[in-house]
Amino acid sequence: MGHLAGFLAVNGLGGPFEDDYPIGEGPGGADPEVAYGVASATAIAEHFQQPFLFDRTRFLARYPDGEAKTLGLQWGREVGAFIVRDRTNDGAEPSKVDFYLSRYPRRQDALRWTPTGPLFDSGKAEPAFAPTFHRGLLPGFGKVKPWTMKSLERFRVPDFPDPASPEFATDYAEIKELGASESNVRTPEQSEIAFFWEDGPWAVTPPGHFSIFAMQLLQHRRLSLVEVARAMALISIAMADAGISTWDSKYRHDVIRPETAIRYRATEFGNSDPRVAIDSDWQSLIPTPPFPSYTSGHSAFGGAGCEMIALLLGRDDIAFSGSAPDTVTWPEHLSGVVRYWPSLSAAADENGASRLYGGVHWNADNVQGLRVGREIARHAFGAKFKMKV
Least confident residue range of 27-41, 50-64, 118-132, 221-235 = 118-132
Q: Phi, psi (5° rounding) for residue 315?
A: -165, 150
Domain boundary among 43, 58, 88: 88
Least confident residue range of 196-210, 227-241, 258-272, 340-354 = 196-210
Percent with pLDDT over 70 in the chain: 95
Q: List, as one string, the DSSP characters of 68-91.
A: HHHHHHHHHHHHHHHHHHHHHTSS
Q: Are 235 and 361 in contact (CB under 8 A)?
A: no
CB neighbour list of residue 93: distance below 8 Å, 6 or more residues apart: none
Q: Are 113 and 257 in contact (CB under 8 A)?
A: yes
Q: Phi, psi (5° rounding) for residue 322?
A: -150, 140
Residue 129 pLDDT > 70, yes or no?
no
Query: Are 81 and 102 in a shared domain?
Result: no
Query: Are 121 and 158 in a shared domain?
Result: yes
361-379 pLDDT tens trace: 999 999 999 999 999 999 9
**135 assigned to some structural domain:** yes
Residue 156 pLDDT > 60, yes or no?
yes
Domain boundary among 53, 88, 123: 88
Tell me how far apart the alpha carbons of residues 358 and 86 are, in angstroms, rounded to a whole number. Answer: 38
Domain boundary among 43, 59, 88: 88
Phi-psi region of 349 (alpha: psi -120 to 50; beta: other; left: phi over 0): alpha
Residue 118 pLDDT > 70, yes or no?
no
**52 assigned to some structural domain:** yes
- HSE-up (13 A, CA, CB side) for residue 177: 11
Average pLDDT of the segment spanning 132-138: 75
Tell me how far apart the alpha carbons of residues 12 and 201 are, in angstroms, rounded to a whole number. Answer: 34
Alpha helices, H only, the chain: 2-11, 32-48, 53-60, 67-88, 166-178, 188-196, 206-218, 225-253, 258-260, 297-313, 331-334, 344-357, 363-383
Query: Are 165 and 73 in a shared domain?
Result: no
CB neighbour list of residue 340: distance below 8 Å, 6 or more residues apart: 319, 320, 321
**What is the model's pLDDT at position 133?**
59
Query: Are 215 and 124 in a shared domain?
Result: yes
Residue 124 pLDDT > 60, yes or no?
no
Query: Are 45 and 116 in a shared domain?
Result: no
Q: What's the domain count of the chain?
A: 2
Q: Are 360 and 180 in contact (CB under 8 A)?
A: no
Tell me how far apart the alpha carbons of residues 332 and 30 are, in angstroms, rounded to a whole number. Answer: 49
Q: 54: domain range?
A: 1-88
**388 assigned to some structural domain:** no
Tell me how far apart the alpha carbons of residues 166 and 270 are, in angstroms, rounded to a whole number. Answer: 11
Query: Are 223 and 285 in a shared domain?
Result: yes
Query: Are 151 and 69 in a shared domain?
Result: no
Average pLDDT of the segment spanning 96-106: 88
341-352 pLDDT tens trace: 999 999 999 999
Query: Are 79 and 150 in a shared domain?
Result: no
Residue type, position 290, single letter: P
**What is the model's pLDDT at position 117?**
61
Using pLDDT thresholds of 50, 70 and 90, give the confidence band for residue 317.
Answer: very high
Higher-pLDDT residue of 325, 316:
316
